[in-house]
Every structure is written in C-alpha cells, then in structure tokens.
Structure 1
Amino acid sequence: MSDRYGELVQSPLGKKVAKNLGLPMPIKLDRYEIGQPVIRGEVAFGTAFGGDELVASIIQNVLFDLDAKITTAEHLNEKLTDENAKFKVAIFDATNIKDVDGLKKVYEFFHVLARRIKSSGRVIIIARPECCTGGDVGFAIAQRALLGFVKSVGKEFKKGITANVLYTQIGAEAHLEHALKFFLSAKSAYVSGQPIYIKKSDGLDEFTVVDFDENKPLKGRKILVTGASRGIGAAVAQVLARDGAKLYCLDVPQNLADLQKIAGNLGGYALPLDITEANAAEQIVKACGVLDGVVHNAGVTRDKMLANMSEDKWDLVMDINLKAIHTINDYLIKNQGISDSARIVCVSSISGIAGNLGQTNYAMSKAGVIGLVEATAKQFKGTNQTINAVAPGFIETKMTGMIPFAIREAGRRMNSMSQGGEPVDVAETISWLLSPKADGLNGNVVRVCGQSLLGA
C-alpha cells in the first residue's frame, strides 16, 4: 500500500517543509537485494575491558567473511578526525561489563559515533543473559541496562538506524554467527530495540548443518505456511521459496484461486484447508509428510468494543488465532509430523504485547500465542527443534489499508522509523528463524515493528 506522506517527505521540498514544521521524516529503508553486499559501509568495533576472546573472534570472522572494512576502538578517534568519516555498523562487545561503573564504556564508544552512523545503519551490542551472571547482582544490573540503552538509541538516532542487543549464553557462542549476519544485513530493516536470546543447544551441541548454502539457507527444507494466499503469508512464501524451501501453502478453500496462484508461481503445493477443522492436523501430515518447518501465520480480526462484541466474533478469533495452532502443534509433535531439527514460527502481534482498543479477542489470542511459544520452547529443551514468534507492528497490507485514515497515520508514525513496515520485513525475520542454523534461537518473541511505541 502506498504511503504518500512518506514519499512526499523524501522529495527536496517535502523534506524542507517537514523539517521546518518538526514533522516525522521517514526515509526509504535499505532492504535486502540479491547481489548487494550484506554490509554497505564501514564497521566500528569496540569492546569493554577487552571483551570476550571467543565472542571477538566470532565477530571478526563474520566481518571478514562479509568482506567488511573494520575500524577498532583503538583507531576510532584517529578515524573520526576526518569529518566525513561515517559508519554503517557499530558493534560493541559488552560481555565483560560487570557493574554500573563499567557501563561508562558504552557511553565512551557510542558517544563519539552518535552522529556518525549512516542511514539504515546498525547498532549491535553483544551481552550476557541473566542466567550467565552467577547471582552477581551488579553483573545482572549492568547487562540488563544495555537493553534500555539500545531501545533509546533506536529512537534517538533515527534515519532508519536499528539498535538491538544479542544476549548470548556462555557456551552458545557458536550460534552467534547466524544472528549477527541477520542483524548486520538489510533483512533486519524493521527490527529494532529487541533483546535476542541465543542459547546453547542443550545436550545436542554436536548437531551440525551439512552442505549449508548461504544463498539458499532453506534448500530442501519442507515448510508449511498457513494463511499463504495474501498479505504477510504470501510474502513469507515468496521469501522462503527464494531461500530454497520446498513449500506447502495453506489457506481456506474460499481463497483457493489466490492460493494456487501463489503456490504455482513459487513451485510449491497448494493445500486448501480450514485449520479449525477437527482433523486439520491429520490432513496436513497426510498432504505434507514430515515437515522441517511450520509458519503459523493464518489469523483474523473481528474488532469490536467488548461490550458490543458478539460471542461468534469472540469464538472465531480465538479458534483460528490460537486454538488451531495449539491443536496442530500438539498433533505434529506427538505424531512425529516434524523432523528432529524442525523450526516452528508463530505470528503474534504487538496487540498481544500491548493490547489495543476494540481488540480484546485479538489481543488475547496473540498473547496466548506468545504463551504457547514460551511453553513449547521448554518442551523442546534438549532437542534440536525450536519454536519462536514474530510480533508484527503496523505492516502495510490490504487489511491495514482499510483502517480509518487518522488511525492508520498514527500507526505508521508511532515508531522509530516513522513509517509502516512491509510484509517482506516479517518474512525475512521468519526465514531467519527457520534456518537450520537457528538452533540457538528458541523461545524468542521478535517484534517486527520498527520499535513501535506501543508496548515499548
């Protein structure tokens, strides 16, 4: 859907008027393009108290693999004597900050870079989760404080710059590479202010990915996408096909024509099915066999103030958005419908985190999805199976295009990017979580919302 205001302020005159009036000034975000380098500029890399040797080695190896030009903290001040020097990425290893005083190192590194990050730049901090602080309150305080910093930086730096913190468990450093490559890239254009938890693959650290192709990370993986005929679901199917997945596209029989078009164009299989049917899970297994990935995207809204909401509207939303997901997952897990290295991704919503006026049914269902993910992640502990959620904010689709103008504009502007996201932003995040290399990601809820002010 077209964002006419966003297009206007990118013109010279529109930019001048918006700046003079103090209006939001969204920029065109860098997004992934085949053939473009992952990092489109220089990288500033710093550490606190020497950082962690293994973490530093992994960061440097990733940057080397991506052919990035690096300026370390030792040479940063010298580099910044050039008033034209700017960076596309700033990475900081904060794993050795163990008290409040140590947080000054974060200030010292980013203070001099605050006006030197390019548009659509990346700020990434590597930290330790609470489970690694060993009961040391000072250590726990310092590491948790980093999240507040990146959330604020994401709002201050603007210009499409994202800021995220990767909480890497000790012993899970081998999984850091996969997360780093995503957050360094344009694929993470609309993900900001997020804590990402990277965990050890308990008991199965010997698991390795054979013949992994960076250009086709999902090659040969059998993946089901529900609600695939339009909107976010169609975008997910397109990205997964680009990444090499063998696709099964599911939607209700009423959308068969659109579903067949999507599946046919992508070389996938169309599965017309209502997921609320009593035997839906059995039909999925019969049609697909053992799956390597499931994307629970199908969902509906039936918005009304609670006092005016009919029982049928309540039941419909809860049955499709939550109950069906639970029922299908339960069957697939108990009946070996998913492989030993399967990835499940559920689509939640900002409404499930922050609530929303007139959406008690929808918000409850999407909050329930988060609960389902958190509980199932514990069930997957000790395996190479994972489950995570994405929580989209305002995404430009036909559905959001039907929202009244004033509310639609508020939704677009009330985030750090001052614009709505694109369905591809959700799709790129889902593809990242579906990768066979994502075994260190389990139980995350990743907001794809441009750092929406709702629930921040």
Structure 2
Amino acid sequence: MSDRYQAFTASPFGKLLVKNLGLPSPVRLRRWEEGAALVDGTVLVTGDGRLAADVRKQLDALEVAHVAEQAPETRYRAVVVDASGLTESSMLGALRDQVAPVLRSLESCPRVVVLGTPPEQTSGAERVAQRALEGFTRSLGKEIGRGGTVQLVYVADGAEQDLSSTLAFLLSPKSAYVSGQVVRVGAHGAVAQAPETDWRRPLEGKVALVTGASRGIGEQIARVLHRDGATVVGLDVPQAASDLQRLTDELDGDWLALDITAKDAPARIAQHLQREHGGVDVVVHNAGITRDKKLANMKSDRWEQVIAVNLTAPERITRALLDEGVLNEGGSVVGVASIAGIAGNVGQTNYATSKAGVIGLVESLRDDLPAGTRINAVAPGFIITQMTAAVPFATREVGQRLNAMAQGGLPVDVAETVAWFASPGSARVNGNVVRVCGQMMLGA
C-alpha cells in the first residue's frame, strides 16, 4: 500500500510546502532485495576498544568492504564505533569526536552502530560511561535523518566473535525500519558459540513454525524465512485454511489449521512437528487479535479472547515444545509483542497487557534455556497492512508520522527482524526485545 503523503512530499509543490512549513519529509527507505550485496558501500570501523579487531574479521567473512580511518571526500554507507574502551564519563567526548566528523560523509539511508559492554557486567565509573551510550544512540537516531538508523550493541565478554549475524542485520537494508534500539549479545543464557552460517541462506535445512501465517505480517514472515532456506510450517485458524494452504504450497512448506487456544493445541502442534519434521528449529508466535474498547466498557469476553490468543497460547505452546523435546538443539523462539505493550494505548488495555506479557515470556525463559537455544521478541509499531488501512485517515496519518522516519513500516521490516533472531548465527542473541517502529516518539 502506498504512502500518499510521502508521494506528495516528493513532488515539486510538496517539497516547497515541506521546506516552508517545516513539515515531516519521509525519505524512501532502502530495503534489501534478494541477490543484492549485503552492504552496498564501505563501512568505517573506528574506536580502540576490545571489539574493533573482531568486527573487522567478521566483516571480512561477510564480504563487506571496510576501512579503519576516515578519508577526505569519501562517503560511507555505515560507521561502526567501538566504545567498549570508555571506562569513565570524562572519556565520552571521544565518542563525539569519532562520530560527529563522519556524519556529513554518510550515504543516504546510512547505518551507525555503537558497540559497548553491558553495564551490568561492569562497575563504578565504567558502568556510568557504558550506560550513557544509550542516551547517545537514541538521540542520534532522532537526529540522523535521510532514512538513517542508529543502534547500540552491548557485547558481553566472550561473545566478541559472535557478532556476524547482528552486524549483517544492522548494517544492511534489512534493518530499514529499526532504529534507536539496544541489543545485547551474550548477556543471557548458557554459553554456546554461534556457528558459522551463510548469510544468504542461514536457515538451510531448518524447520520454522509460523502462527497466524495466512496473511499480513505472518505471511511475510513465512516468505522471508523460506527465502533464508527454512521449511515453513504455517499455522492458522481453520477459517483461513484455504489461504494458508495456498501460501505453503507456493513455499513448498507444510500447514496446520487449528485454534491455538484449544486445550489440546500444544500437544497437537508438538505431535505434528515431531511426526512430520522430526522437530522444529524456529518458532514464531505471530498469531494475534485485537478487541478494542476502553476498559470501563470492555466485556469479559473481549478481555479473555485477546489474552488467550496473544499470550496464553504462545506460553503454553512454547512450554510444550520445550518439555517434550520438540524444539531442536540451538532452536529459536520469537514472540511478536507490540509498541502498545511498552508504551500502552488508549482502548487497548487487553491488547497492551497481552503484548507486555509476551515480553515477560522472554524475560521468564531467557536464562533457563539450553545452550544455544534462545528467545527474543519483536515489538512492531505502525506497520502498514490491510488492518491499518481500515483505520480512519487522520488517526492513520498521526500513527505513521510519530517516529523518527516519519512513515509507517512494512510487514517485511518485521519479517527481516524475525529472520535475524531465527538465524543460527544469532545463537548469542538472547533475551532481547527489539522495536520495529522507525523509533517511535513513544516508549523507550
């Protein structure tokens, strides 16, 4: 679906109004296309912490061009700043000195990635300095403009060599609508070094279950996971069986039609995955519903339906797959939360409660999973779908513009983030909740 306002601002008259009235001017975002280079351009790697050398080695393996020093009149697609060496607040000026000079030398839709050490693994003055990096990256994300993104990656001791999958995602157009996020690598769960993977087909030979797969975001998740090599098992309600079968036939996958809130649903899903596929490697809890009403007017059935589908079912299914050994070694569970679960939303106390609960599920399991098995969540903001197309025009326009990129995201933006979490190369990426929202002005 097209963004009429964005098209208008690209017209001669629209450009004039934007300039004279100070209106939002959304840049057309670069998104990755199959067959393209992972990073189209050169990455500047700067900083003198403990991570820069490993970053360069991993960029070499990804076939990404990079340099260690800024050259005059040279333009860069991205900059990676190793700030792990900042051990007291007086050293934070070095961060400004490393980033500010290169900002005017960045290509359109640039990437800035700052690397640090998890503050909780430090103490004293170092903890102060490392925690300060969050304010720096979030503010720069709202300043950078031109479709750019800024992220902070905290890398735990021992995880220095496990950044490849995260760098591939954050430096490429796959992260087009992800900005202002804090990612932790190696901070949670048992230690298991990430295996080497081909970034083009990281899920080759893997089996992925996607709930709510027949349309919208779920359909796009299924398509992207298939693109990355996975055999996709799509699941949806019986009413959507024809659309579900049509999709999975196209993807040469498998399908299962059932109500995930049914008492026997977890057992049926586990049995099907074990019998037909010998287990499952990736589980994406995408199925979700809304039943909006202000709390004073909300009947109990509206509350219970949303909690049952969005939260209780994913919790029961995940635990069944773990307890029965159906989730294969090194498996990945990805929940679909929402910005509503972080910032709240008028008329959606039931929905926001359920999505905050999905984040709670991540926090509940992240430290108790077998080595290499992980759980993360995506939290979409305003994503343009058939559902949001039915939202009143004024409400829809406000929802799309209240972020640093002044536009709505696409289902593929959520799907690419899910695929990053799903990749075996993300074995040390555990316990994260990443917003796919263009850095909305609401929430942290």
Instruction: Report TM bin, short chain.
Output: over 0.9
Q: 8 Å contact 2:238–2:258 — kept in the other structure?
A: yes
Compute the displacement of 1:117 (Å).
2.0
Counterpart in the other structure of 2:244 = 259
Q: Secondary structure at the match of 2:305?
A: helix
Compute the displacement of 1:56 (Å).
1.6
Take 2:385 and 2:43, find their aligned partners in 1: how far apart are those partners?
Answer: 34
Counterpart in the other structure of 1:293 = 282
Q: 1:157 aligns with which of 144, 160, 180?
A: 144
Q: Secondary structure at the match of 1:378?
A: coil
Take 1:9 and 1:197, find their aligned partners in 2: how far apart are those partners?
Answer: 37
Deviations 1:316-373 (CA, angstroms, capped at 9, x unpaired) = 0011001111111111111112112110000000000000010000000000110011
Counterpart in the other structure of 1:22 = 22
Q: 8 Å contact 2:42–2:65 — kept in the other structure?
A: yes
Compute the displacement of 1:132 (Å).
2.6
Q: Does 1:241 find its partner at 2:226?
A: yes
Residue identity in the other structure for 2:416: E
Q: Does 1:362 find its partner at 2:358?
A: no
Compute the displacement of 1:42 (Å).
2.5
Compute the displacement of 1:3 (Å).
0.9
Deviations 1:377-409 (CA, angstroms, capped at 9, x unpaired) = 1221x5221000000000001111111111111
Residue identity in the other structure for 1:227: G
Q: 8 Å contact 2:164–2:425 — kept in the other structure?
A: no
Counterpart in the other structure of 2:134 = 147
* Aligned CA-pair RMSD: 1.5
Q: Secondary structure at the match of 1:383?
A: coil
Counterpart in the other structure of 1:214 = 199
Q: 8 Å contact 2:238–2:259 — kept in the other structure?
A: yes
Compute the displacement of 1:177 (Å).
1.7
Q: 8 Å contact 1:224–1:295 — kept in the other structure?
A: yes
Take 1:72 and 1:143, find their aligned partners in 2: how far apart are those partners?
Answer: 23
Residue identity in the other structure for 1:259: L
Take 1:259 and 1:430, find their aligned partners in 2: how far apart are those partners?
Answer: 20
Deviations 1:91-132 (CA, angstroms, capped at 9, x unpaired) = 100001011110000111122123222221000001000233
Deviations 1:245-288 (CA, angstroms, capped at 9, x unpaired) = 01100000011111111111111112111100000011112221
Q: 1:320 aligns with which of 302, 309, 313?
A: 309
Alignment of 1:22-171 (within 5 A): 22-47=22-47, 50-52=48-50, 55-73=51-69, 76=70, 79-80=71-72, 82=73, 85-133=74-122, 135-136=123-124, 138-171=125-158
Take 1:201 and 1:365, find their aligned partners in 2: how far apart are those partners?
Answer: 23
Q: Secondary structure at the match of 1:391?
A: strand
Q: 8 Å contact 2:203–2:229 — kept in the other structure?
A: yes
Q: 2:441 aligns with which of 422, 428, 453?
A: 453
Q: Secondary structure at the match of 1:173?
A: coil
Compute the displacement of 1:150 (Å).
0.8
Take 2:171 and 2:32, find their aligned partners in 1: how far apart are those partners?
Answer: 11
Deviations 1:50-88 (CA, angstroms, capped at 9, x unpaired) = 321xx2222112333344443434xx2xx23x3xx3221
Q: 8 Å contact 1:216–1:243 — kept in the other structure?
A: yes
Counterpart in the other structure of 1:417 = 405
Structure 1, gaps ≥5 residues long: none
Q: Secondary structure at the match of 2:152?
A: strand
Q: Does 1:329 find its partner at 2:318?
A: yes
Residue identity in the other structure for 2:209: L
Q: 8 Å contact 2:62–2:199 — kept in the other structure?
A: no
Q: 8 Å contact 2:152–2:182 — kept in the other structure?
A: yes
Q: 8 Å contact 1:224–1:249 — kept in the other structure?
A: yes
Take 1:383 and 1:334, find their aligned partners in 2: how far apart are those partners?
Answer: 15
Take 1:16 and 1:37, find their aligned partners in 2: how far apart are those partners?
Answer: 35
Compute the displacement of 1:204 (Å).
4.7
**What is the number of residues matched between the two proteins?**
440
Q: 8 Å contact 1:131–1:169 — kept in the other structure?
A: no
Counterpart in the other structure of 1:308 = 297
Give the TM-score taking structure 1 as reference length: 0.93
Residue identity in the other structure for 1:224: L
Take 1:374 and 1:128, find their aligned partners in 2: how far apart are those partners?
Answer: 20
Residue identity in the other structure for 1:41: G
Take 1:214 and 1:88, find their aligned partners in 2: how far apart are those partners?
Answer: 19
Compute the displacement of 1:45 (Å).
2.1
Take 1:421 and 1:201, find their aligned partners in 2: how far apart are those partners?
Answer: 29
Give the TM-score taking structure 2 as reference length: 0.96
Compute the displacement of 1:19 (Å).
1.9
Distance 1:72 1:18, change over 3 A: same
Q: 1:223 aligns with which of 208, 212, 225?
A: 208
Take 1:18 and 1:143, find their aligned partners in 2: how far apart are those partners?
Answer: 38
Give the % identical residues.
45
Bigger mean CA offset, 15-24 vs 231-240: 15-24
Take 1:114 and 1:89, find their aligned partners in 2: how far apart are those partners?
Answer: 9
Counterpart in the other structure of 1:390 = 378
Residue identity in the other structure for 1:172: A
